[in-house]
Each structure stands twice: as structure tokens, then as C-alpha cells.
Amino acid sequence: MKMKKDITSLKLTRPQKILVTLYQLSDGTNRQVRFEDIAVGVYKNFTADFQLRGYPQYPDTGDIVHKPLYSELKKGGYVLSGNKYFSLTPKGIAYAKKLLRVSEKETVPGKTASVKLTADQQKELDRLKSSKAVELFLNGKKEEILDIDFYSYLEVTVRTGKNDFLGRLTTVEDAINATKNRSDILYKKLRECHEYLLKRFKMNIDFVRNSKGGKR
């Protein structure tokens, strides 16, 4: 994929560099990319950051690439993984695009307090609005919300892996937070509902946070 800017000149954090490389390798789609391709791609783009220690002519395929992918980027809701393949989520795609446009401003993943709703956030909010949990909340039946409604709200199940679960939670929270400057009554209610759900199902969230490993 041809980039408008020279990707190597961007001022990015290490996870952001992996993300934009994945964006590049997947042609800006959610197509799956092999871990090895990412490791080589990110080495090519940012050699100084991703070379094997003592052997600058070789890429480091260890934790330096592995860890951000499985941890930070997954928890942030930017990537999905399976069987050593990785793909970008809609949020990941939107964020990569943004990085490529505004990277000079030193953006940090997960701290996107943008005023304007992105397309993926709008899509996320539309999904939340039609969820059972929100429906019950808006109809004054919040006590009837079940754990399965909460999982559906986050678009997870009890079997969703730890980092994927936390990634979905971040994605939903980002979408909700993006509505903070909006006076629309529905968004206000949505924020109230979100707060209520986080409080009500804190034990379920903590269960995931405290569980071992990323695989379930």
C-alpha cells in the first residue's frame, strides 16, 4: 500500500509503529497478516527500533513485536488475533489512518479524546443503542439487565479472551467518551447506561482483569 507520507519518518510510539505497519501490510483492511510478516515489516519500516540486539541486519521477532500486539494493541481494541495471525479492528483501522495523518501531534493509543465521532465510533454507538441492555435501561427496567445483556453490549461472551475482552471494553468506552461533548439526550442516557453497567457488572469485569493470560 502506498502511503501519502513516508511512514518511516513518523514520530510514533513502538505499538503505534506496529499498528501502522499492520495497516500498511493489510492494505488498510481487516485482512489477516502473519506475525512473521509484521515482524519483518516493522523492521523494514523502523529498523532502529525492531532489530535483533547485536545484529542490526536481522529483525527481532521476540517480545518487542509480540508483546505490544498481544497486550497493548489487543487491550486497546485495535487488533484481533488467532493462530499467530493478526488483523485490524475497525477502531484499529481508523486509528492507523489518524496516525498517518496527525502523527506529528504525539498521539497516544487509547487517549483519543476527539470531538468528532469517527465512522467506527458512530457504528459502535449505533450498535450499543440497539442492544438489549440499553433498551432495558431506557425503558426504566435496568434491574432486569442480565449478565448476558452486558456481554452482548460489549460484543463479547464468557469465552472471549482476556485481552480481547478488555479491548472491546476500551473500544466501547472510547465510543461512549467521544459523545461527552454532545448535548443529545440519547447520548447522555447512553453514558448513564454505560456507567450503570460498569458498576453493576464490576465483578464480571474484574474476573476478566484478574484472570491469567490472554487465551480462554
Partner 1 sequence: MTIQMKIREEQNVYHDNILDIWGNDFNFSHEKGLAEWLKNSVDAYRRVGAADKDQFIIFRFTDGTQTTPSVIECIDFVGMELVDIEKAFKWWGDPDAAKRGQKIKVFGGHGNGGKFYMRQMFMQSHFVTYKQGKINVFGFNENRKYGFAEGYKDRKTSLDEALRIAGIEKSIIPNAVLRLLEHGETGFTVVKGIRPKKIVGRSLPVFRICDKLKYHPQARSPLKFSNVSVIHNGKIITNSLRMEEIESLEGFEGPFFFEIPDEIDSVSDGETGKKVSMYDKRYGKGSLVLKTSSLPFGRGGRKPELNCIDIVGEIGVIASYNMQQIGFLRYYPQAQYVYGECSCPILEDPEYDCVQNDRERLVDNDRTASLLQWIAKRIDEVAGKIAEKEAKAEEAENIRATDEFNQILNKWKNQFMSKLFAEVLGGTGKGDTTGGQGDEGSGGGSKKESKEKNGLGSGAGKGGGEGDEKKKGTKAPLVLLSGQEDPEFPGVPVTFSDRHFAVEQRQQDVDRGIYWINLEKPMAKKIIDKYGVDSPRWRNYLFQRYVDIFTKETLYRLAKKEGGSLTPEQADYEIMRVSSLVYDKATIDLEDFLLNEKYNSTKKNENESEQS
Point out which residues bind partner 1 (CB under 8 A).
Answer: 32, 80-85, 87, 144, 146-148, 158-159, 204, 207-208, 216
Minimum distance, C-beta of residue 98 to partner 1, in the bound complex (Å): 23
CB-wise, 71 or 204, nearer to partner 1?
204
Minimal distance in Å, beta carbon 82 to partner 1? 3
55: how many CB neighbours lie within 10 A of its CB? 9
Q: Cell 435501561 identifies what position?
A: 137
Pick the closer one to partner 1 by CB: 126 or 147: 147
Backbone φ and ψ for 147, nearest 5 degrees, come out as -60, -35
State in angstroms the smallest separation of the CB of 211 from partner 1.
Answer: 8
Q: For residues 57 and 83, which CB has a smaller minimum distance to partner 1 in the complex?
A: 83
CB closer to partner 1, 27 vs 106? 27
CA 213, CA 202: separation in Å to the nearest integer?
19
| Helix, strand and coil in the chain, % to nearest 5 | 60, 10, 35
- Distance CA(2)–CA(7), nearest Å, equals 10
| Min separation Cβ 207 and partner 1, Å | 5
Surface-to-core class of residue 69, CB atoms within 10 Å of its CB (0-12 exposed, 13-18 middle, 19+ buried) = buried
